[in-house]
Structure 1
């Protein structure tokens, strides 16, 4: 989603965008109402063959920048991209995958300046830290609601929820006789839809299910409290000034989430360390009853609500095209 956010900024500035994606990602791309840019499927082949195929594309020849985002792009792949001679931008999270070889490094996490990028990206221009949080355009144009007008709990564990947190959390809330209104968001890759539907038919909870929901800024901005996986959604929640409980479900989420917790707008449960869904549900019910604490969390989130990161990255990319004043090729 970070690449889509950056692509939206480029598109707003009349820059042509082309995505090269795996066949398995095509359906997702086509399902997005806010998608921008042409989409080309990448053939299933070796790294060398993929780079060679890429270089033969007319879009590659015309490109000013190549942007990578994904854990699958290892050190060897990045080195191959660097050797194409194109300017190369890379989204990174934890600086834990060897030499980066990027001309421009993007990491909007609070902890990014502490990651010793001098060792892996010594010559790269660095768009790192909170000012470079790249968010989709909807978060820039949506005004967060005042806390007093917010009325529901939002639950969102990403596009696929591989740990099955959504249903487990609803069951835990039901066992606690939770009475708040709940909005549950699941993504296109969510696989427990039938089990969730069966639960919703018989539960006493007040639940609205929003499958493959795409108006996330509007939904987060209306939430009195959110429970979310601690991935990129945490930056979206902060931008919406939404008090949150963040569940760490992967090792690479821990550093950024620890920084968010210190900012005071969220509480954190580290599910990788054995914390229970029941305890998470109990905390949600307790927080829901503490209006003054939630209002304070809302105010603290507002102190870190910055939605201009995409613009700052675009400015850096544009400036790096040449000291002679050259800018992106127009659309």
Structure 2
């Protein structure tokens, strides 16, 4: 196997941003490693759990001490490691930021979700969203455009199980709830409270798993709320998300990165978006019959989400329809396709 050059990745993860940007960048590092390459994550901050996870995968981490010197710091990392490619993922990175980096003659891949910029001074733009419209980049870039779910990136555990196919029992009994690394609207607590208050008998009929980030400020409250409910388990900072996705009959989730990996495993989804970008994705998934969307989980209508979950668990045909539609979007090979484009531009 040919040893690839070092790949430098600029990304952040925290309570506000969540984990989605980090996880798809991790997917790139894992795919690059399969090609025999080495990756360096450049971050301003990272939890101990994130650092340990990267180190365990032989991914180097460089923490920025001073954001004012960030460009110089990244350029030094590039020079010291003879790095050619820089991946940038985050809504905070401006066109001016990328232009300044291009002065070193970096080749830049921007992972974008449609955040509008006046111009995109990069070499590749990856927008893996189902709702993407190439017209948003018209006259703003000379970059190679990799658009749509055929380029959807998935982490290694999903890549290894990409050929797995789901069964759809007539009556479902396994519910997975997760709202990513941030859960800014505290939807996890909202759904649990709704189930307890409106349909407590429902809990004895199903098994429920709740996945939260260890940094979620509501973690103690969530654990305390369910500690006497034997059919509910809380997991934090999981490293086997693919196992949980394959386990469930229904996923209730925000409409972030998890949607991509859940689609690969043909998962029936109820999506509750947290942001405008997530609303776009959730609406498109609903439009093509790949999910059910519950736009806002507010106090007056919380009981409606419980009714929806109960109804969907009892409707095997509907779950099959949703899962099959989602599964047609993602085949698990998107990361490899993007890596091929990087290598083609490196020749």
1:1-331 equivalent positions in 2, closer than 5 A: 1-25=23-47, 27-31=49-53, 35-46=57-68, 49-57=69-77, 62-121=82-141, 123-142=142-161, 143-148=164-169, 151-175=173-197, 176-177=199-200, 178=202, 179-203=205-229, 206-271=231-296, 276-322=301-347
Q: What SS class does the counterpart of residue 176 from structure 2 fall into?
A: strand
Q: What SS class does the counterpart of residue 208 from structure 2 fall into?
A: strand
Deviates more, 1:55-64 or 1:309-318: 55-64
User: What is the alpha-carbon distance in structure 1 between the residues aligned to residue 245 and residue 210 of structure 2?
Assistant: 11
User: What is the alpha-carbon distance in structure 2 between the residues aligned to residue 200 and residue 316 of structure 1?
Assistant: 47
TM-fit CA distance, 1:196:
1.1
Q: Go from structure 1 to structure 2 and tell me whether the alpha carbon gap of 1:58 and 1:319 turns closer, same or farther (over 3 Å shift).
A: closer
TM-fit CA distance, 1:4:
0.6
TM-fit CA distance, 1:124:
0.2
Q: Go from structure 1 to structure 2 and tell me whether the alpha carbon gap of 1:7 and 1:198 turns closer, same or farther (over 3 Å shift).
A: same
Q: CA RMSD for the aligned pairs? A: 2.3
Q: What SS class does the counterpart of residue 270 from structure 1 fall into?
A: coil
- Structure 2 spans left out of the alignment, 5+ residues: 1-22
Deviates more, 1:267-276 or 1:19-28: 267-276
User: What is the alpha-carbon distance in structure 2 between the residues aligned to residue 246 and residue 275 of structure 1?
Assistant: 18
TM-fit CA distance, 1:169:
0.5
Q: Go from structure 1 to structure 2 and tell me whether the alpha carbon gap of 1:101 and 1:278 turns closer, same or farther (over 3 Å shift).
A: farther
Q: What SS class does the counterpart of residue 227 from structure 1 fall into?
A: strand
Contact 2:272/2:297, CA 8 A, preserved across alignment: no
TM-fit CA distance, 1:129:
0.9
User: What is the alpha-carbon distance in structure 1 between the residues aligned to residue 224 and residue 90 of structure 2?
Assistant: 35
Q: Go from structure 1 to structure 2 and tell me whether the alpha carbon gap of 1:243 and 1:34 turns closer, same or farther (over 3 Å shift).
A: farther
Q: Deviations over 1:56-76 (max 9, x none)?
A: 236555102011011121222
Q: Go from structure 1 to structure 2 and tell me whether the alpha carbon gap of 1:196 and 1:59 turns closer, same or farther (over 3 Å shift).
A: farther
Deviates more, 1:34-43 or 1:241-250: 34-43
- Superposition TM-score, scaled by structure 1 size: 0.89
- Superposition TM-score, scaled by structure 2 size: 0.85
> How many residues align structurally?
318
User: What is the alpha-carbon distance in structure 2 between the residues aligned to residue 118 and residue 58 of structure 1?
Assistant: 30
Deviates more, 1:270-279 or 1:163-172: 270-279
User: What is the alpha-carbon distance in structure 1 between the residues aligned to residue 297 and residue 176 of structure 2?
Assistant: 22
User: What is the alpha-carbon distance in structure 2 between the residues aligned to residue 162 and residue 91 of structure 1?
Assistant: 23
TM-fit CA distance, 1:303:
2.2
Deviates more, 1:50-59 or 1:133-142: 50-59
Contact 2:169/2:316, CA 8 A, preserved across alignment: no
Give the equivalent residue in structure 2 for 1:329. Answer: none
TM-fit CA distance, 1:84:
1.9
